[in-house]
Amino acid sequence: MALLIDDSCINCDMCEPECPNSAITMGEEIYEIDPLLCTECVGHYDKPTCISVCPIDCIAIDPNHKESQNELQMKYTAIMELT
């Protein structure tokens, strides 16, 4: 699954530079995660690093973008081939 930032985000800038896939960008009001780029950190870390650094726990699983571990691994491979 990709992850989702909820609207309690305080725009603290902690998560954006930590994302290994550059999936986090500033949206119109708060930071947003691109579900096409978020691998839940599969391929890079054991757990989602954005969740680890967020001081207010406003990042969670996006129920609209459910993916298996295998699908996340394939997404990681595809992203690496593009970069």
Smallest gap from residue 10 Cβ to ligand SF4 (A) = 5
Q: How many residues bind ligand SF4 (CB under 6 A)?
A: 28
- Under the criterion CB under 6 A, does residue 10 sit at the interface with ligand SF4? yes
Long-range residue pairs from 41-47, CB within 8 A, at least 24 positions apart, any chain = 42/69, 42/72, 42/73, 42/75, 42/76, 43/72, 43/73, 43/76, 43/77, 43/80, 44/20, 44/76, 45/20
Residues that bind ligand SF4 (CB under 6 A): 3, 5, 9-15, 18-19, 21, 23-24, 31, 33, 38-41, 48-50, 53-54, 56, 58-59
